[in-house]
Amino acid sequence: MNPTVTKPVVLIAEQLSPATVDALGPDFEIRHVDGADREALLPAIADVDAILVRSATKVDAEAVAAATKLKVIARAGVGLDNVDVKAATQAGVMVVNAPTSNIVSAAELAIGLLLATARNIAPANGALKGGEWKRSKYSGVELYEKTVGIVGLGRIGVLVAQRLSSFGMNVIAYDPFVPAARAAQMGVRSVSLDELLAESDFITVHLPKTPETVGLIGEQALRKVKPTVRVINAARGGIVDEHALALALKEGRVAGAGIDVFASEPTTESPLFDFESVVVTPHLGASTDEAQEKAGVSVARSVRLALAGELVPDAVNVKGGAIAEDVRPGIPLAEKLGRIFTALAGGVATQLDVEVRGEITTNDVKILELAALKGVFADVVEDPVSYVNAPLIAADRGVEVRLVTDEESDDYRNLVTLRGVLADGRAVSVSGTLSGPKHVEKIVEVLGYDIEAIPAEHMAFLRYTDRPGVVGTVGRVLGEADVNIAGMQVSRHSKGGPALVAMTVDQAIPSQVLDDIVSAIGAEWGRSVDLDD
């Protein structure tokens, strides 16, 4: 008598399209639960192999701990705010999402908002339904031969550029991480942010939300635009400062806006709601039938691949098994070094070497290269970066990547270094190591300066000419901004020569405060790094 074959169990925790279940196929036992009901979720997840969620189910550390057989968490969408990726990784649970499922929908909504603001569609609709025929009041403007400035030329930004080009618009873009030659291939002229602000008749934002991009289109930026400009944000709330935009609209410095995302969501109150020239929607970027179906089908396929032990292109963390135990602790360090590299560079590298030295190189260390690339692009592109798509993102941006290994390491048992050359010829490097039996992460070199710092959630680096009083000035400016310094190191090559300050602080340093420090000490530059997500 043959033993009973038990099918893997897949728990669907939210309403997904019938196509999602069809994509799973007959090889799984399908169960359902209301993921928003915590008391129902925790016992239901205990013995399942995979769980499919959208945004209402929180798969946090408690849920991961309760799921003793769990192998895959699948989020049918782009964001992962409701999934504790760190807890899942520590438990050896793969996390997958559907990073391209909504890009067409998001691009089309941005264009819809742009058209609506150009032609006053929303207020004209409201007036006519209210019994008023106000044809002359709602005269608009054409898109033809106007200039649209795209802030962020990732996948969604590219789709917007392609579609608006067909309207006969002049398309310019600001994205320091996309080479000008690559933009030109798409018929887009690459410009600085100030040039974009000054030239654009329409500005549409397509950036990830990071400490550097929050408030990017704020008070200062909105004083550099044409009074006829219309601003669109269908990317992330907070990149466009709502209060600064409202003031600019009130003072006649901006003609209109189309806003789908807000700094705080959900919201039913915003200063922008007072303006007839502003079209608002409640974060509808991914809210199409097609996007939802694509997301469900995509993650269902990923679940099938994962449970079959095959390569999963949309995995956002590392699946265990093939990675040597000596290599595994270096993965998060390599990713942090990648994020620090990008913050220091402030632009796209044309050549990037991931150097791994020491005893660890007797193992396959390819995963450290992938982790470093994931970190490099984590704060650059709008969509989540995975270990699989990171090399594709690098290739798309013209970055030549090499993995360099050497069993010899003079100063450390093992050392990981990211060394790159930027399009403007600048060289950037950052190195890190793991110390002791607990594998304590340490940054040991930045731009050729020797330091020894433990990576923290919030860091900053300053390069200046060594002289008395600098440390005190830095402390004073941060103190006035109520930012507490947790640690500070100064490294220099010679007395009175170039020096580097490396700081860890208790909270993110606002960009204006960092600019104030750079000005106060006459620094060559200052960079902040935030590793808190």
pLDDT of the residue at 4:
56
Residue 378 and residue 347: Cα distance in Å, rounded?
13
Out of 112-121, 196-205, 243-252, 359-368, pick the least confident: 359-368
Contacts of 388 by beta carbon, 8 Å cutoff, 6+ apart:
311, 312, 313, 314, 315, 370
**Which pLDDT does position 319 carry in this prediction?**
52
- Domain ranges within the chain, ordered by starting residue: 9-100+291-316, 103-280, 321-455, 456-533
Cα distance between residue 362 and residue 372, in whole Å: 19
Intrachain domains 9-100+291-316 and 103-280 with the same fold: yes
pLDDT at residue 95 tops 70: yes
- The string of pLDDT tens digits covering residues 287-319 is 999 999 999 999 999 999 888 877 687 888 765
Under CATH, which architecture does the 9-100+291-316 domain have?
3-Layer(aba) Sandwich (3.40)
Place of tokens 């060559």: 524
Average pLDDT over residues 373-400: 84
Identify the pLDDT of residue 340.
95
> 194 pLDDT exceeds 90?
yes
Average pLDDT over residues 120-130: 95
Average pLDDT, the chain: 91
Are the CB atoms for 458 and 504 separated by under 8 Å?
Answer: yes
Residue 2 has pLDDT above 60, yes or no: no
Helix (H) or strand (E) holding 478: helix 470-480
Separation CA 487–CA 458 (nearest Å)? 11
96: alpha, beta or left? (left if phi > 0; alpha if psi -120 to 50): beta
| pLDDT score recorded for residue 440 | 92
Q: In the prediction, which pLDDT does 392 show?
A: 82
CATH annotation of 103-280: 3.40.50.720
Residues 6+ apart with CB under 8 A from 17: 289, 292, 293, 296, 297
Q: Is a pLDDT exceeding 80 seen at residue 255?
A: yes
Q: What's the length of the chain?
A: 533
Architecture of the domain made up of 456-533: 2-Layer Sandwich (3.30)
Q: Are 97 and 55 in contact (CB under 8 A)?
A: no
Check: pTM over 0.75? Answer yes or no.
yes
Angle in degrees, CA 111, 117, 118, rounded to 5: 85
514 near 460, Cβ under 8 Å? yes
Whether the per-residue pLDDT at 423 is higher than 50: the answer is: yes
What is the pLDDT, as a whole number, of residue 322?
55
Picking from 219, 181, 223, 206, the residue whose alpha carbon sits closest to that of residue 396 is: 181
Catalytic site residues?
Answer: 236, 265, 283
Each residue's pLDDT tens digit, 219-237: 999 999 999 999 999 999 9
d(CA 9, CA 50): 7
Instruction: Check residues 187 and 496 and name the one with the higher pLDDT.
Output: 187
**Mean pLDDT to the nearest integer, 378-404:** 84
Give the Cα-Cα-Cα angle 448, 415, 396 (nearest 5 degrees): 75
For the chain, the C-alpha Rg in angstroms (whole number) is: 25
pLDDT in tens, 432-469: 999 888 889 999 999 999 999 999 999 999 999 988 99
More confident residue, 41 or 321: 41
* 321-455 has CATH 3.30.1330.90 classification: yes
User: Could you tell me if 66 and 41 are in contact, meaning their C-beta atoms sit under 8 angstroms apart?
Assistant: no
CA distance 334 to 318: 13
Provide the sign of the torsion angle of the four alpha carbons 158, 160, 164, 170, taken in this order.
Answer: negative
